[in-house]
Amino acid sequence: MNIAENISLRHFNTFGIDVTAAFFTEIFSLDELKEALEFAKAKEFPVLVLGGGSNVLFTQDFNGLVIKNSIGGINIIKEDGEQVYINVGGGVVWHEFVLFCLQHNYAGVENLALIPGCAGASPMQNIGAYGVEIKEVFYELNALNRFDLAEQKFNNTACEFGYRESVFKNKYKEQFVITDVTYRLNKTPHFKVEYGAIRQQLEKDNIKELTIQAIANAVIAIRSSKLPDPKVIGNAGSFFKNPSVLLPEFQMLKEKFPQVIAYPNHDGTMKIAAGWMIEQCGFKGMRRGDAGVHNKQALVLVNYGDAKGNEILQLCQEIQAIVFEKFSVEIMPEVNII
């Protein structure tokens, strides 16, 4: 294991924020992870674990040890006539795993194509898109306790999944490092094309026979048309969560704003489209120096070049305040702010 000092993190976060890590290491195995954590513990350094860096906004230098999780591997561990169980290293790029599933005709993650980040973050965030959440294909994961270096297994129930939430963002926040994840994919697909613009895109693509590849292609086309490429414009995808409100509150909101975009949740609440509210407040396409709101998707905050993390955070806070003033609905960042 090699520990470097005073390393720029600009190329390790998709916002492209130029901050410095006092110490930095990249790990490729569980043993190297343990060694890195032991080093940090002995030096009493704070620790930050990065995967793809696609869900973080740096507002300052990190005066501790940054660990880049690059644990790899995509391995089928068991299968039967209906399902296949695939173990994926926490550092595997998520879309590479999706491509693996498409290549082998394993169904369940096609709606989640092109989501940035690594596999290890997928259960932490309960990533989701176009009517599918990771909890639907998640089987179990292995994680390492940062403090006592004990290995622990979590099944679906233990993860306590919620909307963009899990136990790792609440009760166990910053306590575990996810080393690998096992997903349960279907050999016979159950297509989900009702959400968002998927059906329209499939019609545009003149798809006559529905396949998981066709759905993935549609999702990739939609995401590419709406979301900026982080390699071109710094961003972390959707910056805000879609807030959920009780039905009476939604009905009052709809009386005042008949065009409000919302979707029903399983618990009877209504999920309001945060991007629609932000756009109604006039922020879509707004730019403050190199910090801005993307001109095609108001949920996405962007770094046009040399924006500071605090400049993007200030824009976030301004958006939150104006949205609440107009709609009396609080929107919260999906991105981790450091």
> Annotated catalytic sites, by residue?
164, 238, 334
Identify the CA nearest to 276 among candidates 289, 287, 263, 292.
Answer: 263
Exposed / middle / buried, residue 324 (Cβ in 10 Å: 0-12, 13-18, 19+):
middle
The string of DSSP codes covering 23-34 is EEEEE-SHHHHH
How are the residues of the chain apportioned to helix, strand and coil, as percentages rounded to the nearest 5? 30, 30, 40
Helix runs in the chain, H state only = 30-43, 94-103, 121-125, 156-159, 198-204, 212-226, 247-256, 274-280, 309-327
CA distance 232 to 51: 20
Coil, helix or strand at residue 181: strand
274 Ramachandran zone, left/alpha/beta (phi>0; psi -120 to 50) = alpha
73 Ramachandran zone, left/alpha/beta (phi>0; psi -120 to 50) = left
- Are the beta carbons of 227 and 316 closer than 8 angstroms? no
Identify the CA nearest to 101 among candidates 121, 79, 123.
Answer: 79
Q: What would you report as the CA-atom Rg of the chain, rounded to the nearest whole angstrom?
A: 20
Exposed / middle / buried, residue 42 (Cβ in 10 Å: 0-12, 13-18, 19+):
exposed
